[in-house]
């Protein structure tokens, strides 16, 4: 059997995939059978420092030769140092629990909120989320996801306590005396690269604080410099009660994190994760944050964010027949396509032209390049994209 047949035989059929078999990559260029592809997807916002980054590779090799994993029953030095770095970069004096994925981080966030809601005179457990949101694939986080298509009956029953509203302004009237938290992405990723208005989010944060309702910000996609700032919460100037992180944090090594000001809420036995924050993933996280925070300090990230953003806007202008809008922030950008069929064509032609991009809800082409993508790779990627679009 060839590789495609083996894949079909042994791997469960959960993804509509293209069968390109990459052998290696460097920076934002991937190779398959001697042909190069420009990577504007970074493994769905995961490879934040690109492929085969020397500093990350060396740190991982060095760490693997010492200890990869013990358990959270002992102190894990790199985990502590990673938490300290996250606190420094975010400016939030929070406590952190490490997990292995975005969904697992959000599960932790929801458990924190529910415990908080159990402490008052009257139990509060409801969490309000937004339509077009995406919070993960576990039974609970899929239910937290505000897209009805995700809650089909094949997987029911789902946990109670999740309600959805269309827009931020609808949150206020959805709150009742059982509501304990509001959970949202500041820039909805899977839902269509939709960013919310900063004033509106700040007003909501103030209102929730005043009414003792927790604000959970899902930064699984928007965190770790994706928007140009360390956290989208920093960019928006808000101070959430709970923040979840994952995708870009380990540069490809699985890691998730839930951060909170409620440092004393969980006690031993409340929550856990066997792998969470082990030596290898924590070392990956520290290395990624060192690389990216240095680039941020030098002004390099801001410069390339602008460079990339201008290219997105220019291509939207040049192909007004295909795109209705250019959306998103920083290295989390999208183009709204006028219809479904055109989006499918754009996806196919991009691959044919050796460019990896993503799609998202609301007929959106989505770009999530590595935070370290070089200018020449940006140029080459948009050249290929333009060529793909011109073939429609």
Ligand X SMILES: *Cc1c(COP(=O)(O)O)cnc(C)c1O
Q: Which residue, 224 or 315, has its beta carbon nearer to ligand X?
A: 224
Residue placing its CB nearer to ligand X in the complex, 231 or 315: 231
- Residue 186 region by backbone torsions, left for phi larger than 0, else alpha for psi between -120 and 50, else beta: alpha
Select 89 or 224, whichever has its Cβ closest to ligand X: 224
Contact range with ligand X by CB under 6 A, out of 130-138, 269-277, 297-305, 334-342: 130-138
- Is residue 182 involved in binding ligand X (CB under 6 A)? no
Query: Closest CB to ligand X among 296 and 366?
Result: 366
List the helix and strand counts (H, then E) for the chain: 13, 17
Of 82-121, binders to ligand X (CB under 6 A) are 101-103, 106
Whole-number Å distance between alpha carbons of 131 and 259 = 24
User: Interface with ligand X includes 189 (CB under 6 A)?
Assistant: yes
Q: What burial letters (b/e) apply to 314-324, b meaning 16+ CB within 10 Å?
A: ebbeebeebbe
Q: Which residue has the tokens 């997105």?
A: 312
Residue 360: closest CA among 221, 240, 165, 219: 221
End-to-end CA distance of the chain: 36
223 makes contact with ligand X (CB under 6 A) = no
Query: Binding string, 246-265, against ligand X, x = CB under 6 A?
Result: xx------------------
Would you state the structure tokens that stand for residue 282, as one six-digit string?
Answer: 């924590």
Task: Check residue 318 and give left, alpha or beta (phi > 0: left; psi -120 to 50: alpha).
Answer: alpha
Cis amide leading into 77 (omega within 30): no
* 3-state secondary structure string across 168-187: HHHHHHHCCCCEEEEEECCE
Coil, helix or strand for 76? coil
Q: Where are the alpha helices (DSSP H) in 26-164?
A: 42-45, 54-64, 77-90, 102-118, 139-144
CA 300 to chain centre: 22
Whose Cβ is closer to ligand X: residue 322's or residue 356's? 356
Stretch that binds ligand X, among 213-221, 301-309, 335-343, 349-357 (CB under 6 A): 213-221
Of 287, 295, 290, nearest in space to 331 by CA: 295
Which CB, 106 or 353, lies closer to ligand X?
106
Site string for ligand X, 323-362 (x = CB under 6 A): ----------------------------------------
| 194 near ligand X (CB under 6 A) | no
Q: Point out which span in 60-68, 128-136, 290-298, 363-371 binds ligand X (CB under 6 A).
A: 128-136
In whole angstroms, give the CA distance from residue 228 to residue 303. 10
Least separation, in Å, of the C-beta of 17 and ligand X? 16
User: Which residue, judged by CB position, is nearest to ligand X in the bound state?
Assistant: 102
- Give the three-class secondary structure for 46: coil
Cβ 109 to ligand X, closest distance in Å? 10
> What Rg, from alpha-carbon coordinates, does the chain have?
21
Minimum distance from CB of 136 to ligand X (Å)? 4
Closer CB to ligand X, 349 or 368, in the complex:
368
Distance CA(349)–CA(342), nearest Å, equals 10
- Among 39, 107, 194, 218, the residue binding ligand X under the rule CB under 6 A is 218
Interaction between residue 136 and ligand X (CB under 6 A): yes
User: Binding segment for ligand X among 12-20, 84-92, 132-140, 308-316 (CB under 6 A)?
Assistant: 132-140
- Find the shortest distance in angstroms from Cβ 245 to ligand X: 10
Q: Contact with ligand X (CB under 6 A): which of 107, 190, 229, 241?
A: 190
Residues near ligand X, by CB under 6 A? 101-103, 106, 134-136, 185, 189-190, 218, 220-221, 246-247
């Amino acid at each position: 059997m060839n590789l495609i047949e083996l894949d079909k035989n042994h791997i469960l059929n959960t993804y509509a995939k293209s069968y390109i078999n990459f052998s290696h990559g460097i920076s934002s260029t991937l190779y398959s059978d001697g042909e190069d592809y420009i990577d504007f997807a970074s493994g769905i916002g995961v490879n934040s420092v690109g492929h085969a980054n020397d500093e990350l590779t060396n740190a991982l090799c060095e760490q693997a030769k010492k200890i990869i994993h013990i358990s959270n029953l002992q102190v894990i030095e790199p985990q502590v140092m990673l938490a300290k770095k996250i606190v420094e970069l975010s400016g939030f004096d929070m406590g952190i629990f490490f997990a292995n994925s975005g969904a697992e981080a959000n599960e932790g966030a929801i458990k924190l909120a529910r415990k908080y809601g159990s402490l008052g005179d009257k139990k509060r457990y409801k969490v309000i989320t937004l339509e077009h949101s995406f919070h993960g694939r576990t039974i609970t986080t899929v239910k937290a996801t505000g897209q009805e298509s995700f809650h089909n009956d094949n997987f029911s029953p789902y946990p109670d306590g999740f309600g959805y509203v269309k827009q931020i302004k609808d949150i206020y009237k959805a709150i009742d005396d059982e509501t304990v938290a509001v959970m949202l992405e500041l820039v909805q990723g899977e839902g269509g690269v939709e960013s919310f208005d900063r004033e509106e989010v700040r007003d909501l944060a103030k209102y929730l604080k005043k009414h003792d309702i927790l604000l959970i910000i899902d930064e699984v996609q928007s965190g770790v410099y994706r928007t140009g700032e360390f956290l989208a919460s920093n960019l928006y100037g808000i101070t959430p009660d709970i923040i979840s992180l994952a995708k870009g944090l380990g540069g490809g090594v699985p890691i998730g994190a839930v951060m909170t000001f409620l440092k004393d809420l969980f006690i031993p036995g409340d929550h856990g994760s066997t792998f969470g924050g082990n030596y290898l993933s924590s070392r990956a996280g520290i290395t990624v944050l060192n690389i990216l925070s240095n680039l941020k300090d030098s002004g390099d990230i801001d410069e390339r964010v602008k460079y990339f953003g201008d290219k997105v806007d220019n291509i939207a202008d040049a192909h007004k027949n295909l795109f209705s809008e250019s959306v998103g922030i920083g290295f989390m950008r999208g183009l709204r396509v006028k219809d479904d069929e055109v989006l499918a064509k754009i996806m196919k032609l991009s691959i044919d032209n050796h460019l990896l991009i993503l799609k998202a809800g609301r007929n959106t082409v989505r770009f999530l390049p590595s935070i370290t993508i070089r200018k020449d790779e940006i140029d080459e990627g948009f050249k290929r994209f333009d060529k793909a679009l011109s073939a429609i």
